[in-house]
Amino acid sequence: MADFSKSRTIDEFQVGERFKTASFTLDEASLLSFSQMYDPQPLHTDKQYAATGPFGELIASGIQTLAISIRLFVDLGLFNGTCLAGPAIDDILFYEPVKIGDTLYCQVTVIEARRSKKDSKRGVLRTHYQVFNQHKVEVLSHKVTTIISANTDK
């Protein structure tokens, strides 16, 4: 059952506000399971092939890394019951490969938080994600647009 105690409306987010997520360690089973299902390229699924490639070992699909980052932020509980839609992810940049055993966490910064011009019952939240590994090396960044409920008391 979802915890709604931390849920926020659009009116409760402030531009410049930052959130740090918990961490997630990528294990081999998770990497292979995701890759075989959604991005079955040998670089992500075949140890022997990957050993001869540019990284010398299996690496996570960028899509998996992106999905992990979204999950880590969602797990903060800020959207439970207030998220209405996620219409865009922009400016996706993969800086470094993510490997088995890497521990990822995100720093998420609010870059826009405003009421919708079309519907006062909702708002637009834009966030900038920076994903780091255990060495504090940025591996991914992207921006997410989320439609969030507004405080109906205002």
**143 located within any domain:** yes
Structure tokens at 50: 């990957």
**11: which strand partners?**
none
Report yes or no: 124 and 114 within 8 Å, Cβ to Cβ. Answer: yes
**5 located within any domain:** no
**97 located within any domain:** yes
**30 located within any domain:** yes
Cα 137 to Cα 7: distance, rounded to the nearest angstrom: 30
The CATH number that applies at residue 96 is: 3.10.129.10
Pick from 121, 113, 105: nearest CA to 146: 113
- Segments forming the whole domain that contains residue 92: 10-149
> How many structural domains is the chain composed of?
1
User: How many other CB atoms are found less than 10 A from the CB of residue 8?
Assistant: 19
pLDDT tens by residue, the chain, 154 residues = 566 678 999 999 999 999 999 999 999 999 999 999 999 999 999 999 999 999 999 999 999 999 999 999 999 999 888 999 999 999 999 999 999 999 999 999 999 999 999 998 999 999 999 999 999 999 999 999 999 999 876 5
